[in-house]
Structure 1
């Protein structure tokens, strides 16, 4: 079982998202960073925004050490969302860039139509 900052039984079954999700996260990052009408002064801190979203949606964040994966899988792993027995889990790589983490969270919440708690 992979080592995590917080180990769960669920972490062993986590699969990397498909290429399409990885491209969508990249698109969200590009649109966030390349928006000329967005002032850096009003852009929320990604760490604070991430904490706010995880609290709003009642998510438990599990950081997963992806070094156990093959290199091509490790490079493509961005995040995974799952629900088990009422527990909402968002699994991300250890040390992931906060902006990537926030973008992945936004994409997965929208794609899986997760509602706030």
Structure 2
């Protein structure tokens, strides 16, 4: 199983796939429920969704202070998933936007074919 960090492009690509959930109104795309990444049927918030996925997949979430990275690396760092001594770890920057964090988690789970516990 590859162990790679999600890049901004990966998350943007995943978020753009959510753009298909928009409704056309007068030729202009408008997001449903105030969030372009969410269908109108889902009313929960990204923090709740993130926590539910971490429990479902048995992930330990670690927040990392990315200020030690070079600026170009800091700007592109979104998240990293790894399995360490049988433990599933998801590393995210401290203070990351909840929607970005949730999108990154979904990208990693899908790309690395992580199965629920």
| TM interval, short-chain normalised | 0.7 to 0.9
Q: Is the CA contact (8 Å cut-off) linking 2:78 and 2:101 kept in structure 1?
A: yes
Give the CA deviation at 1:74: 0.3
Aligned residues: 101
Greater C-alpha Rg: 2
Give the CA deviation at 1:84: 1.0
Q: Which residue of 1 aligns with 2:8?
A: 22
- The runs of 5 or more residues in structure 1 that have no matched partner are 1-14
SS in 2 for 1:27: helix
* CA shift in 2, pair 1:79/1:90, >3 Å: same
Q: Report the RMSD for the aligned CA atoms in angstroms.
A: 2.1
* CA shift in 2, pair 1:22/1:30, >3 Å: same
1:52-91 → structure 2 map (5 Å cutoff)? 52-91=52-91
- Large movers: runs of 4+ above 3 Å: none
* CA shift in 2, pair 1:89/1:16, >3 Å: same
**What is the TM-score with the length of structure 2 in the denominator?**
0.77
